[in-house]
Chains A and B, each alone.
Chain A
Amino acid sequence: MELVNVWFIVIAVLWTGYLVLEGFDFGVGMLMPIVGKNNTERRVALNTIGPVWDGNEVWLLTAGGATFAAFPEWYATMFSGFYLPLLMILVALIVRAVAIEYRAKINDPKWRANWDRAIIVTAWVPSILWGVAFANLVRGVPLDADHEFIGNFFTLLSPFALLGGAVTLLLFLTHGAIFLSLKTDGIVRERAETLAKRFAPITLAVTAVWAIWAQLAYSDVAWTWIPLGVAAAALCLAWWFSIQESNGLAFAANAVAIAAAVVLIFGTMFPDVMPASNDVANSLTVQNASSTDYTLTVMTWVAGFLVPVILMYQGWTYWVFRKRISVHDIPEHNELTFAKD
């Protein structure tokens, strides 16, 4: 296989890793006030992602860095073209990282309440915007002959793109609810399981509508029906296993659904990485957006060596923190406040 195609797949894999992993981080953030009615319950929710969320986010940085290295034109056009949505995502991710880390540092209800708000909002914003961004990649955006984006912010907000935002939002809500069902015990688990059962059918319906729209309107190939079918089947299974309260299987099914959605998105785009909606000739393709064969070869060696190692130690982290947690596991807050001095 040509290296440019290999790297197209690698980028898809990195995004899959990111969306599957940070997808439930976002879900937990969005659902934290619903599954956690008091501070201790909210801390249960937050601590399920505590040891892992930061490592999960690195998948995004790697997807960004790998796009820069393998497809510089794509990196340049996409991030300058999606300027304002990306800005919103970045601000959300910045505030979110700090909010999660600083929330428990001071024992003061007001301090916590404010960071809680930040955690919730900064989970909603990227959950919607990632879907909007990917839907725009599927749909195409106006590009000039130099591959510069010539639309504006509102170009990016078509109905198809907004529905894409709803898809990622729902996928992450379901993913988070299932993850919480899997990782907690007691009242938080009960609430999460109820939520998962409710979200799953809605997610299935909305994702199916969007995926069929994408397939009919934007896919040039028939094989993308396969990931579409897989995604639909996986979401049915996630729903079924949620009803059965087989949380592990439900989680696996939902993860497969997210992965299949990425395959559908990338499969629809290929061989473009950024289709031009105004003129096919201006599209960025795996060929005209890519780095040289030399650079791709170097990066193939590096990624081929490091990605398995990363998967091993990240997997080990999940193994170390495999136990369910409940309100009984949460220690008292430290007594530190700003009042003393």
Chain B
Amino acid sequence: MEALDLARWQFGITTVYHFMLVPLTIGLSTLVAIMQTAWVVTGKEKWLRLTKFFGKLLLINFALGVATGIVQEFQFGMNWSEYSRFVGDVFGAPLAMEALAAFFLESTFLGLWIFGWDRLPKKVHLATVWAFSIGSILSAYFILAANSWMQHPVGAEFNPETGRAEMTDIFAVLTNSTTLVAFPHVIATAFLVAGTFVGGIGVWWMVKSSRAKNESDATMYRTAARFGAVVMLIAGVGLLITGDLQAKLMFKQQPIKMAAAEGLMNTEQPAAFSLFAIGNLAGDDPASVTHILEVPGLTSYLATGDWNAPVTGINQLQDTYAERYGATTPDGKVIEYRPNLLVTYWSFRMMIGLAVFSAALALSILWFTRKKQIYDKTWFKNLALISLPMPFLASAFGWIFTEMGRQPFVVAPNPTGNDQVMLMTMFGYSTSVSAGEVITSMVTFTVVYTILGVFWFKLQKRYASEGAPVMAPPPDASDDEAAKPMSFAY
């Protein structure tokens, strides 16, 4: 493999890994903030116990999420220095803003929250967890503004003198139409992940406590399960709406990605949506591909809102792109504008399909725990367990789809913008870094991430299976402050 391929694999591995953890941090920090608010407002102990319980799981997750995030800030320069030179004037701004506006808020207030129990006034302490949560949501906004610019560059010109893209309008960059739909989509994903996490663990514990005849615990976990279910449902509806908006935007901004989502080699009117396909999706002979369980007109609808609209196929788009952006590279190689269809076709389906587990879990929670009921059947516990990883995977597949669907571009051209504000992935990597160095870093990161991932999993499992802590009676009021032990101390 060449340095380019290695650099791509490395970015894929480190980013997918990092973004497995991030949605849970974003969603769960907000849900924990809501739980703590419920405790402060109602004074009910169950909310405090749930806050502490899910708070610990959140911390275990945050540590690894933030650690793997450090790499993200630097690897553009390490492995993608030509990309960095080309985009830095535009792309660097939201990245720096993310650090200034979001990371400081997140990290500083998390420290205050962890160590501030019993030390800060109750309401101030509550404010710290909200500040943490807002910081994590803001970070998603800025990084999506940066990513959306790679999908759909706006607010920038190409400067032939410097040979790079240069920003002309920061507000255009920050209000990119792509960002405005990607941000709610990612936030809804975060809530689906966190809702499934809280709901799933809530169900698991409700069944367990109920079978152990611990009624008060079972009631508490029922609350958690229903809370998670409501979050999942709202997030699910949000995902449908924003996903639909994204598809329609994508059809205009990156038509070849839309065609790749269906593996549509040639223009069709109307274009169907298949649930499965057999055959070589990327082959030259579309007849060899059998689409199974087709929904007529659905791809047309997803792309345009009209069940009968034509959707341009990849072969036709290849010609259009070749004419507009060049048929060959400077050294004479034919440019293939078709993304990897196997990946785009299946990741698109996995993204949607895996989210179904959360829907099933949410609906069954609401049904089986209706009217103050506690449900204790083992199958329910198992459904909860199986559902837990699914939205994480769905989110990862969504990212794999959108990033692989953008290929061969790293900055995809804006069809209504300046044609020179675009960059092929093959021209973005660091030419001064040898393949050996990239292999070294890739192997190192993969090994370190794997080991840390094992610890992450063991701790999550251990703490989740420990359940919500039982609250000690409040300390004697006469205790002077100095005698109070630190809470959550390392």
Interface pair A106/B111, CB less than 8 Å apart: no
With contact pairs A61-B99, A72-B85, A325-B486 given, residues A80 and B432 touching in the complex (Cβ less than 8 Å): yes
Q: How far is the CA of A331 from the CA of B98 in the complex (A)?
A: 36
Interface pair A83/B441, CB less than 8 Å apart: yes
With contact pairs A47-B490, A51-B111, A83-B433 given, residues A295 and B78 touching in the complex (Cβ less than 8 Å): no
Question: Contact string, A22-60, partner B, CB cutoff 8 A, digits 1/0?
Answer: 000000000000000000000100110011111101101
With contact pairs A76-B84, A295-B166 given, residues A320 and B489 touching in the complex (Cβ less than 8 Å): no
Q: How far is the CA of A295 from the CA of B66 in the complex (A)?
A: 27
With contact pairs A65-B99, A98-B64, A102-B459 given, residues A76 and B486 touching in the complex (Cβ less than 8 Å): no
Q: How far is the CA of A99 from the CA of B201 in the complex (A)?
A: 26
Interface pair A72/B96, CB less than 8 Å apart: no
The answer to the question of B76 belonging to the interface, with a C-beta cut-off of 8 Å to chain A, is: yes
Q: How far is the CA of A101 from the CA of B67 in the complex (A)?
A: 11
Q: Which of A188-196, A258-266, A272-280, A307-315 is the contact stretch? A: A307-315
Residues of A within 8 A of B367 (CB): none
Residues of B within 8 A of A55 (CB): 104, 107-108, 111
Interface pair B89/A291, CB less than 8 Å apart: yes
**Interface size bracket, A side:** 35 or more
Q: Which of A86-94, A159-167, A218-226, A244-252 is the contact stretch? A: A86-94
Question: Contact string, A285-327, partner B, CB cutoff 8 A, digits 1/0?
Answer: 0000001101100110011001100100110010011010100
The answer to the question of B485 belonging to the interface, with a C-beta cut-off of 8 Å to chain A, is: yes
Residues of B within 8 A of A227 (CB): none
Question: Which residues 73-108 of A sit at the B interface, judged by CB distance below 8 A?
Answer: 73, 75-81, 83-84, 86-87, 90-91, 93-98, 100-106
Question: Contact string, B471-490, partner A, CB cutoff 8 A, digits 1/0?
Answer: 00000000000100111011
Question: Contact string, B439-457, partner A, CB cutoff 8 A, digits 1/0?
Answer: 0110011001000100110
Q: How far is the CA of A213 from the CA of B404 in the complex (A)?
A: 51
Question: Contact string, B33-67, partner A, CB cutoff 8 A, digits 1/0?
Answer: 00000000000000000000000000110111011
Q: How far is the CA of A51 from the CA of B101 in the complex (A)?
A: 19
The answer to the question of B71 belonging to the interface, with a C-beta cut-off of 8 Å to chain A, is: yes
Interface pair B92/A69, CB less than 8 Å apart: yes
Interface pair A329/B100, CB less than 8 Å apart: no
Interface pair A148/B99, CB less than 8 Å apart: no
Smallest beta-carbon distance A217→chain B, Å: 26
Q: DSSP majority for the B interface?
A: helix
Q: How far is the CA of A96 from the CA of B70 in the complex (A)?
A: 12
With contact pairs A54-B107, A69-B96, A98-B452 given, residues A75 and B115 touching in the complex (Cβ less than 8 Å): no
Interface pair B114/A80, CB less than 8 Å apart: no
Q: Which of B234-242, B288-296, B460-468 is the contact stretch? A: B460-468
Residues of B within 8 A of A154 (CB): none
Interface pair B448/A79, CB less than 8 Å apart: no
Select from chain A the residue with minimum beta-carbon distance to B87: A72
Residues of B within 8 A of A57 (CB): 70, 107
With contact pairs A294-B167, A295-B167 given, residues A61 and B77 touching in the complex (Cβ less than 8 Å): no
Smallest beta-carbon distance A131→chain B, Å: 18
Question: Which residues 129-151 of A sit at the B interface, judged by CB distance below 8 A?
Answer: 148-150
Smallest beta-carbon distance A54→chain B, Å: 4
- Identify B466's interface contact among A78, A87, A299, A336, CB under 8 A: A336
The answer to the question of B349 belonging to the interface, with a C-beta cut-off of 8 Å to chain A, is: no
The answer to the question of A2 belonging to the interface, with a C-beta cut-off of 8 Å to chain B, is: no
The answer to the question of B119 belonging to the interface, with a C-beta cut-off of 8 Å to chain A, is: yes
Smallest beta-carbon distance B123→chain A, Å: 15
Q: How far is the CA of A58 from the CA of B440 in the complex (A)?
A: 26
With contact pairs A292-B89, A336-B466 given, residues A310 and B104 touching in the complex (Cβ less than 8 Å): yes
Interface pair A331/B486, CB less than 8 Å apart: yes
The answer to the question of A62 belonging to the interface, with a C-beta cut-off of 8 Å to chain B, is: yes
- Identify A150's interface contact among B103, B111, B432, CB under 8 A: B432
Smallest beta-carbon distance A319→chain B, Å: 11
Residues of A within 8 A of B490 (CB): 43, 46-47, 50, 100-101, 103-104
Interface pair B92/A104, CB less than 8 Å apart: no
Smallest beta-carbon distance B295→chain A, Å: 44
Smallest beta-carbon distance A260→chain B, Å: 25
The answer to the question of A6 belonging to the interface, with a C-beta cut-off of 8 Å to chain B, is: no
With contact pairs A54-B111, A79-B77, A90-B70 given, residues A61 and B103 touching in the complex (Cβ less than 8 Å): yes
Select from chain B the residue with minimum beta-carbon distance to A77: B81
Residues of A within 8 A of B383 (CB): none
With contact pairs A94-B71, A294-B168 given, residues A330 and B486 touching in the complex (Cβ less than 8 Å): yes
The answer to the question of B335 belonging to the interface, with a C-beta cut-off of 8 Å to chain A, is: no
Question: Which residues 200-233 of B sit at the A interface, judged by CB distance below 8 A?
Answer: none
Max chain B CB contacts within 10 Å: which of A70, A80, A86? A80
- Identify B108's interface contact among A47, A62, A94, A317, CB under 8 A: A317
The answer to the question of B306 belonging to the interface, with a C-beta cut-off of 8 Å to chain A, is: no
The answer to the question of B170 belonging to the interface, with a C-beta cut-off of 8 Å to chain A, is: yes
Select from chain A the residue with minimum beta-carbon distance to B59: A101
Question: Contact string, B66-97, partner A, CB cutoff 8 A, digits 1/0?
Answer: 11111101101111011011011111110111
With contact pairs A51-B111, A76-B81, A94-B448 given, residues A306 and B101 touching in the complex (Cβ less than 8 Å): yes
Question: Contact string, B310-325, partner A, CB cutoff 8 A, digits 1/0?
Answer: 0000000000000000
- Identify B81's interface contact among A65, A79, A86, CB under 8 A: A79
Q: Could you list 9 examples of A-B contacts with CB < 8 Å? A: A61-B103, A87-B440, A91-B445, A97-B63, A98-B456, A100-B63, A102-B459, A330-B485, A330-B486
Can you add 16 more A-B contacts, CB < 8 Å, to A52-B111, A68-B96, A341-B465? Answer: A50-B490, A55-B104, A58-B99, A72-B92, A76-B430, A79-B78, A80-B79, A86-B78, A94-B67, A98-B67, A98-B452, A102-B63, A298-B170, A299-B96, A330-B486, A336-B466
